[in-house]
Amino acid sequence: MLEAPYVTSYLSEHFADEAFTTLEGYQRAGGYEAARRAIHEMSPADIIELVKDSGLQGRGGAGFVTGLKWSFMPTDDERPRYLVCNADESEPGSFKDRILLERGSHQMLEGILIAAFAVGAEKTFIYVRGEYAHPTRCLERAVAEARAHGFLGENVMGSGFAHDVVITRGAGAYICGEETGLLESLEGKKGQPRKKPPFPAEYGAFGMPSTVNNVETFSHVPHILRRGAEWFKSIGTEKSPGTTIFGVSGHVARPGLFELPLGTPLSEIVFEHAGGIPGGRKVKGVIPGGMSMPILPAGELDVPMANEFLRERKTMLGTGGVMVMDETTCMVRVACVITYFFRDESCGQCTQCREGTGWMDKIVRRIERGAGEPQDLDILLDVAAKMEGQTICAFSDAAAWPVQGLLRHFRDDFERHVREHKCPYPESFEL
Amino acid sequence: MVIAEAVQAEIRELMACYPEKRGALLPALHRVQQELGHIASETASELAALFEIRPIEVMEVVNFYNMFYSTPQPAHHVYVCTNLPCSLRGARDVLKGLAAHLGVDAEGNTEDGRIHLGHEECLGACAYAPMLRVDDRYHEDLDLEAAKRLMDELD
Ligand SMILES: Cc1cc2nc3c(=O)[nH]c(=O)nc-3n(C[C@H](O)[C@H](O)[C@H](O)COP(=O)(O)O)c2cc1C
Ligand code: SF4
Ligand code: FES
């Protein structure tokens, strides 16, 4: 079980309390009251309007407005409708969904109930990454409790609304986090993403209208219902309301989880909350939101952690996985770790992605070995540019961005490898 | 039959959870592998019959996912996470040290065939690096000595 966050807010307020993982403990903290009120006293349209008004944005990486996504579900359609919870969390540097499952399964389930009622879904499929054996057990326990209490099943809370939850374990494939790769996997197939359109609201799980949301996205929902859209908007920035749970890793004194308002400056997260860089060393670069997001150099850490500000620096919030690297770090080796990952995880359907990830990996490895040529840097940028915006899913873009970011801010590291035919960072981690 | 009658019954129950029974294929593969250690072609054929799909479709799924094995496996799988946050905190030294400790050439099976050592991508434990996974269990905040002790304690 993960340690509770060092800094908490409404999502993780009770995470240090073991009892919060039980239905009784969760209810003692006010849990399931928001779902009860939503289901008994509100109309689906009112709920969607409220969530839209709150401005909640998806926390799975793309930041799409949640209420808007829910409103895409067809209402004049007789087919069964499904909700899908994306608990595949495999973006390197991310571990927030894990704690939300381990210590907050009931909170997430309450959000799922509210969402299910709002979009008229009869079932929710929760897809958990296969390696999360323990979080899955925590979730299974919570689902069993909720079912035993009549919070799931034929007649949810005596309202006549029927809803149940199915938990499916993945089996070790990063691409199954992409929502249509996930849907394929859920259907018992290879997790190869689908062409869009049609989007999941029209053709989702088992071909039925579906809404896919992330674990954390669902977890915010009960709080919005309980305290209102205005309250939610009072936290975070004007365009990015609410908190998120930042996961900080790498070269910091106090790695861990920190629930903070969106818009918190990256420097505050790194130097105050995570305790700064140990050993009196200086920071070199920080990846702000999981491996797919371009790195920021030491001079740009003043940026508020919200997409409207991060975009100006050519990066994004992603999953809020903050990876910190000190001055001993070789950025060419960092590139090698990144390109290896994407080469390995490409599902292979699109030529640009399959070939591009392979090429990038080959070139950065050559540079790392000291065998790179001066033109390799431009070849690398050329390959990355060709990988953008032309593929079935955003994986290919996500593979190109971090390499582009490294070359934008740390080109000198690459050039020195080419010039000196060796790595100039004797203290860096080795491959 | 390689898949026990009781397990087949469980699989039929799993099928009922999904609008199409094929939805239960990944759960069924997990269940069968837990029982048999890997998914041999004979097992795949039996599953295919249960799911009314072709054996090749089952094998395609087995081969797509890292956690399914199509050949007999050692008693334990040890995976050291070598993604960036773990690498920044010494994971690759732990992997190399364990390889030496177990007498494995970088990655592979021990001579007695009991343990497979390998690397894995981020496991969602980045703040508690280095870390490794032994079968279904995470071990976090390790150093090489602690990792070696873990290996020595495996049954
Ligand atoms: C390659 C790739 C991997 C992804 N992995 C995840 C993931 O592990 N978890 C997740 O919630 N979203 C992931 N996403 C985003 C999903 O496609 C989708 O946008 C998200 O689940 C929607 O939920 P939200 O609107 O609540 O954020 C991934 C996207 C891509 C392109
Ligand atoms: S972009 Fe890459 S991962 Fe996505 S569908 Fe194409 S080949 Fe697969
Ligand atoms: S990088 Fe090792 S657990 Fe995330």
Cβ atoms of residues A365 and A409 within 8 Å? no
Report domain extents, chain B.
Answer: 5-64, 76-153
Q: Is B87 in the pocket of ligand 3 (CB under 6 A)?
A: no
Distance of residue A20 Cα from the nearest chain B Cα, in angstroms: 22
**Is residue A203 domain-shared with residue A251, that is, in the same domain?**
no
B102 touches chain A (CB under 8 A): no
Domain boundary among A301, A326, A351: A326
pLDDT of residue B155: 84
CB atoms B26 and A169 under 8 Å: yes
**Is residue A409 domain-shared with residue A335, that is, in the same domain?**
yes
CATH homologous superfamily of B5-64 equals NADH-quinone oxidoreductase subunit E (1.10.10.1590)
B70 touches chain A (CB under 8 A): no
pLDDT of residue B106: 84
A206 touches chain B (CB under 8 A): yes
* Residue A320: how many other CB atoms lie within 10 Å: 29
Does residue A13 lie within any of the structural domains? no
- Taking only the tens place, the pLDDT of each residue in B8-63 is 999 999 999 999 999 999 999 999 999 999 999 999 999 999 999 999 999 999 99
Residue of B nearest to A175 (CA): B65
Instruction: Report the candidate in A63, A316, A97, A90 with the shortest Cα–Cα distance to residue A216.
Output: A97
Q: Is B131 in the pocket of ligand 3 (CB under 6 A)?
A: yes
Domain boundary among A233, A254, A288: A233
**Is residue A229 domain-shared with residue A338, that is, in the same domain?**
no
Q: Residue A60 sits in which domain range?
A: 18-233
- Taking only the tens place, the pLDDT of each residue in A378-398 is 999 999 999 999 999 999 999
- Taking only the tens place, the pLDDT of each residue in B83-128 is 999 999 999 999 999 999 999 988 999 999 999 999 999 999 999 9
CATH homologous superfamily of B76-153 equals Glutaredoxin (3.40.30.10)
* A188 neighbourhood in chain B, CB within 8 Å: 20, 22-26, 51, 61
Distance of residue B50 Cα from the nearest chain A Cα, in angstroms: 13
Residue A169's contacts (CB-CB under 8 Å, 6 or more residues apart) are: A128, A129, A130, A132, A136, B26, B27, B30
**Is residue A341 domain-shared with residue A315, that is, in the same domain?**
no
A176, A247, B136, B9 alpha-carbon torsion, rounded to 10°: -50
- The structural domain count of chain A equals 3
Domain boundary among A233, A259, A283: A233
- pTM of the full predicted structure? 0.98
DSSP run (H or E) holding B129? none
* Whether pLDDT at A2 is above 90: no
Residue of A nearest to B58 (CA): A189
**Is residue A181 domain-shared with residue A155, that is, in the same domain?**
yes
Does residue A1 lie within any of the structural domains? no
* Nearest CA owner, ligand 1 atom 11: A60
CB atoms A95 and B127 under 8 Å: yes
What CATH number did the domain enclosing A355 receive? 1.20.1440.230
A96, A99, A100, A106 alpha-carbon torsion, rounded to 10°: 180
A359, A360, A362, A368 alpha-carbon torsion, rounded to 10°: 160
Rounded distance between C-alpha atoms, residue A401 and residue A384, angstroms? 8
* B119 neighbourhood in chain A, CB within 8 Å: none
What CATH number did the domain enclosing A159 receive? 3.40.50.11540
Task: Give, as one character, the DSSP assignment of residue B52.
Answer: T
Select the residue of A90, A172, A186 nearest B65 (Cβ to Cβ).
Answer: A172
* Whether pLDDT at A94 is above 90: yes
Which of B84, B87, B131, B137 to substitute to test the interface with A, most A CBs within 10 Å?
B84
Q: What is the mean pLDDT of chain A?
A: 98
Distance of residue A294 Cα from the nearest chain B Cα, in angstroms: 14
pLDDT of residue B1: 85
